Amino acid sequence: MSVPVASSVPVASASPAGAGRSIERPRVLSGVQPTGALHLGNWLGAIRNWVALQSDHDTFFCVVDLHAITVPHQPERLAEDTLSTAALYLACGIDPQKATIFVQSHVSAHSELCWLLNCVTPLNWLERMIQFKEKAVKQGADVSAGLLDYPVLMAADILLYDADRVPVGEDQKQHLELARDIAQQRINARFASRDSAGQPIPILKVPQPLILKEGARVMSLTDGRSKMSKSDPNEGSRITLLDPAELITRKIKRAKTDPQMGLEFGNPERPEADNLLGLYALLAGRSREAAAAECGSMGWGSFKPLLAEATVAALAPLQARYHELRADPQHLGEVLSQGRERASAVAEATLERVRQALGFLASS
């Protein structure tokens, strides 16, 4: 089966950042790691926003499998997790006719640009990354160089596509800043050539983060002060997008509460109330004001079944689409191979600009 992709989207040429684009739709790039099942935080903090962007932006969404091996991984799971993450993108509403969906390791320019950027990125910029420090503690003595280098690979992902905007959750903001600094201070400022008027011609586009407030930080069900995460050993701390209805209900039933009646936002003493009420608003499609009014005098015993019902109802159509997609592996394969072609064309052009700016001998 042939899959129509966004053929009207032009490919950037080997010219200064952005100059090869004939349509002025802002470019968007984002990605999620195929490490374990995606959860409500990934959906509400990231992927949900991608869906809203795809109609009026030129969108690229990748499954960042090279990032997934920066901590010890299971080789027998990697391909399956990559496919299931791609299927979840589609099930969440990413449309291959509008967006380019691809696997990071299928486009070798990501690794190559990462190397070039590595050689201009100061080590101490990486050593101060919060996510590195947090993850490194968990790895003990076995921290890989790849884990330290993770944000440079992420910068390569973004900069290869001349992305204008990068929709991510709040935890990725520092990595976005780093990508901006590398592009601006370490590549453009050092290697740009000048036009006839003496103005520098930028080599890489400097991206902007795009962090929507609501959903940007979904917290754990078992601790309202730490974020919902794929790596939390307690599965009860997160609801994954593929959890069956009974499991969702059970996890919500066991979620941490406090002794107070009434759900409310913004009370620093009640992080669980804030988090679960926020989830309810997003999943039931209510404004925060409406959710606060509806649940303001409810006890936990009445609120939890309501939240469970809203969660199950919000995930049901997504789960049905996911299972349909997994039943047709050929279709998914086509989506990813056409995505790879489109992504490679854009990425190779950018990589060539950087190679030339750094002074490499042309290969033919």
Provide the annotated active-site residues.
135, 227, 230
209 is an interface residue for ligand AMP by CB under 6 A: no
Q: Is 270 in the site for ligand AMP (CB under 6 A)?
A: no
User: Can you tell me which of 48, 57, 175, 227 binds ligand AMP, judged by CB under 6 A?
Assistant: 227
Contact by Cβ (8 Å): 331, 3: yes
**Residue 17 or 211 with smaller CB distance to ligand AMP:** 211
33 touches ligand AMP by CB under 6 A? yes
- Give least dist CB 352 to ligand AMP, A: 29
Pairing of strands 58-63, 27-32: parallel
Rounded Cα distance, 341 and 353, in Å: 19
Q: Which of 78, 50, 71, 77 is nearest to 150 (CA)?
A: 71
Phi-psi region of 10 (alpha: psi -120 to 50; beta: other; left: phi over 0): beta
Judged by CB under 6 A, which stretch of 11-19, 151-159, 196-204, 348-356 contacts ligand TRP?
151-159
Cβ nearer to ligand TRP, comparing 70 with 188: 70
Residue 11: CB atoms within 10 Å: 15
Per rule CB under 6 A, is residue 172 in the interface with ligand TRP?
Answer: yes
Q: Residue 239: name the closest of 47, 90, 44 by CA.
A: 44
Cβ–Cβ < 8 Å for 203, 353: yes
- 45 counts as binding ligand AMP under rule CB under 6 A: yes
- Residue 70's closest CA among 120, 113, 132, 119? 132
Contact region with ligand AMP (CB under 6 A), list: 79-87, 115-123, 164-172, 279-287: 164-172
Taking CB under 6 A as the binding criterion, the range among 2-10, 150-158, 214-222, 243-251 that sits at the site for ligand TRP is 150-158
C-alpha distances in Å from residue 294, one per residue of 108, 224, 259, 271: 51, 21, 19, 19
Q: Given the rule CB under 6 A, which residues bind ligand TRP?
A: 29-33, 64, 67, 154, 157-158, 166, 168, 172, 175
Q: Given the rule CB under 6 A, which residues bind ligand AMP?
A: 32-33, 41-42, 45-46, 168-169, 171-172, 216-218, 227-230
